[in-house]
Chains A and B, each alone.
Chain A
Amino acid sequence: MRPEEERQLIELARLGDVEVFMRLTREYEHQIFQLTFHLTGNREDAADLTQETFLQAFRAMKKFRGEASFHTWLYRIAINLSLNFLKKSRREKNGQESVEEIEENRGGAQLEYNFSQDSPEDSSLSAEFVASLKKAIDELPPAYRVTFSLVVLEEMSHKEAAGVLGCSEKTVSWRVHEARKMLKKKLQSFLTLKQEV
């Protein structure tokens, strides 16, 4: 969609036109779903958060002043909703299976990801590793998890992530570094095996 066309649609959507807002939704729903999935790690939660993101955006359309792009604004809403969701579910999750427990129950992990490219010899190990990596990302403190997901999984630059998160590029850089250190620590036994292969 051209920026000029998007601006016109935003103006109409600000007046409460649902059909116009749905055109904007169709433009961004897959990206928002991907983002919320990367942040929550669960397809159903991601679908709910995607819907809630667009509902909140519709309610707040009158407040949208175009200082950030519509895309960045939607991302911010989705991230805020996801962070709240993560904090809430983190409190409820205490006691659930940790990465260490996955290591003990190898082969039992249920995966929702697309695997490919690995040779048959190491595909099994890779599948386990990715499941454990996802679990380890899920267990990161929310701020680190979101920053890591934006930079590594969403492939945003530090600058873009800083814009979406409303923080400095240095903060993004530091959080990603800390997240990587935490992941390495959590996945040490897998990494040793991988490095030996």
Chain B
Amino acid sequence: MNCEKYQKMISDRLDGRLSRRKEKKLDRHLAGCPLCRDYLEAQEIIQREAFKIGEIDYPPEWWPQFEQNLKEKLILEGGLDGLQAVEGNKNKGNKNDSKKANRLVLRPVAVRALSLVLVVATVVTIAFLIIYKEKGRPEELPLAMMLSYEESYLNLNQMLADDEAIASEFVNSLEESIIGDTIQSGSENAIIDFDNNLPANDFKIELNKLQKENHNPEEGV
């Protein structure tokens, strides 16, 4: 016999939750089951005694003190008392309106500014990492020095173009310097190949000729 099922029905009956159909079914079972009759009796005692736990209360004079303590705590929590509440609520309403308005204006600006800073920081970091990783530490001359050489080169170029006498002297000294070096090194293949893009190209051809002659001195004699 499934007594567990009927004991659950007993519990529902005590709570007034058993349908008429189940009441009849339970009664039929109880008539033939002493175990469940005993269970019902025990539960009826528990129910009856539980009601005796009943109500408990503090004496009436205790409650005003309880309420006073609670009220003080509520005010400490930021609650508003009496007239203060009426005024406070009006101000609160205004403050809330302006706060809402500020939120609407400030929030997108703050978000955009923060986003921009984050994006720039990310791009700079990534760029630095890529350059640093792929190229390593630049071993070339610092940029300022490079610009300085380029400036000197342009100045020289300008000076040679402006003054033929200086240009001629420069070419002569250059010829002497190159020929001297080449003879000293004794290398047969030491042919200087000037870049055609260099300035004062008019003397380069002469120089090349001189070089070739110096490599084969016998031929020239």
Taken together as a complex, chains A and B put the C-alpha atoms of A17 and B78 apart, in Å, by 10
Of B52, B85, B92, the most chain A CB neighbours within 10 A belong to: B52
- Partner-contacting stretch, out of A27-35, A75-83, A88-96, A102-110: A27-35
B92: A residues at CB distance < 8 A: 15-16
Q: Are B11 and A37 in contact (CB under 8 A)?
A: no
Q: Are B75 and A37 in contact (CB under 8 A)?
A: no
Shortest Cβ distance from residue A38 to the other chain B in the assembled complex, whole angstroms:
7
Known: A17-B79, A58-B79. A158 touches B57 (CB 8 A): no
Q: Are B53 and A16 in contact (CB under 8 A)?
A: no
Known: A33-B57, A180-B11, A183-B46. A126 touches B66 (CB 8 A): no
Q: Are A16 and B78 in contact (CB under 8 A)?
A: yes
Q: Please, which residue of chain A has its CB at the minimum distance from the CB of B64?
A: A26
- Partner-contacting stretch, out of A2-10, A64-72, A111-119: A111-119
Taken together as a complex, chains A and B put the C-alpha atoms of A33 and B81 apart, in Å, by 25
- The one of B11, B52, B81 in contact with A113, judged by C-beta atoms closer than 8 angstroms, is B52
Known: A15-B92, A18-B80, A58-B77. A176 touches B11 (CB 8 A): yes
Determine if B208 is an interface residue (Cβ-Cβ < 8 Å).
Answer: no
B74: A residues at CB distance < 8 A: 18, 21-22, 54-55, 58
Q: Please, which residue of chain B has its CB at the minimum distance from the CB of A156?
A: B15
Taken together as a complex, chains A and B put the C-alpha atoms of A59 and B54 apart, in Å, by 31
Determine if B182 is an interface residue (Cβ-Cβ < 8 Å).
Answer: no
Q: Are A180 and B46 in contact (CB under 8 A)?
A: yes
| A: interface residue count bin | 35 or more
- The one of B11, B17, B66 in contact with A51, judged by C-beta atoms closer than 8 angstroms, is B66
Shortest Cβ distance from residue A159 to the other chain B in the assembled complex, whole angstroms:
9
Determine if B88 is an interface residue (Cβ-Cβ < 8 Å).
Answer: yes
Known: A16-B79, A37-B56, A58-B79. A191 touches B11 (CB 8 A): no
Q: Please, which residue of chain B has its CB at the minimum distance from the CB of A54?
A: B70
B79: A residues at CB distance < 8 A: 16-18, 21, 58
B11: A residues at CB distance < 8 A: 173, 176-177, 180
Of B7, B53, B86, the most chain A CB neighbours within 10 A belong to: B53
Q: Please, which residue of chain B has its CB at the minimum distance from the CB of A114?
A: B54
Known: A25-B67, A173-B11. A114 touches B17 (CB 8 A): no
Q: Are B53 and A133 in contact (CB under 8 A)?
A: yes
Taken together as a complex, chains A and B put the C-alpha atoms of A173 and B16 apart, in Å, by 11
How many residue pairs at the A-B interface have CB separations less than 8 Å? 134
Determine if B39 is an interface residue (Cβ-Cβ < 8 Å).
Answer: yes
Q: Please, which residue of chain A has its CB at the minimum distance from the CB of B45?
A: A194
Determine if B41 is an interface residue (Cβ-Cβ < 8 Å).
Answer: yes
Q: Please, which residue of chain A has its CB at the minimum distance from the CB of B93?
A: A15
Determine if B128 is an interface residue (Cβ-Cβ < 8 Å).
Answer: no
Determine if A140 is an interface residue (Cβ-Cβ < 8 Å).
Answer: no
- The one of A25, A47, A158, A187 in contact with B15, judged by C-beta atoms closer than 8 angstroms, is A158
Determine if A1 is an interface residue (Cβ-Cβ < 8 Å).
Answer: no
* B159-182 CB contacts (< 8 Å) to partner A: none
Q: Are A16 and B58 in contact (CB under 8 A)?
A: no
Q: Please, which residue of chain A has its CB at the minimum distance from the CB of B73?
A: A55
B58: A residues at CB distance < 8 A: 33, 43, 47
Determine if B55 is an interface residue (Cβ-Cβ < 8 Å).
Answer: yes
* A141-158 CB contacts (< 8 Å) to partner B: 151-153, 157-158
Shortest Cβ distance from residue B90 to the other chain A in the assembled complex, whole angstroms:
10
- Residues of B at under 8 Å CB distance from A? 7-8, 11-12, 14-17, 38-39, 41-43, 45-47, 49-50, 52-58, 63, 66-67, 69-71, 73-75, 77-82, 85-86, 88-89, 92
Task: Other than A22-B67, A22-B71, A126-B52, give 11 A-B pairs with Cβ distance below 8 A.
Answer: A16-B89, A17-B80, A18-B75, A19-B81, A19-B82, A20-B85, A51-B70, A113-B52, A129-B49, A130-B49, A130-B53
What 5 A-B pairs come out closest when comparing CB atoms?
A: A177-B11, A18-B79, A17-B85, A15-B89, A18-B74
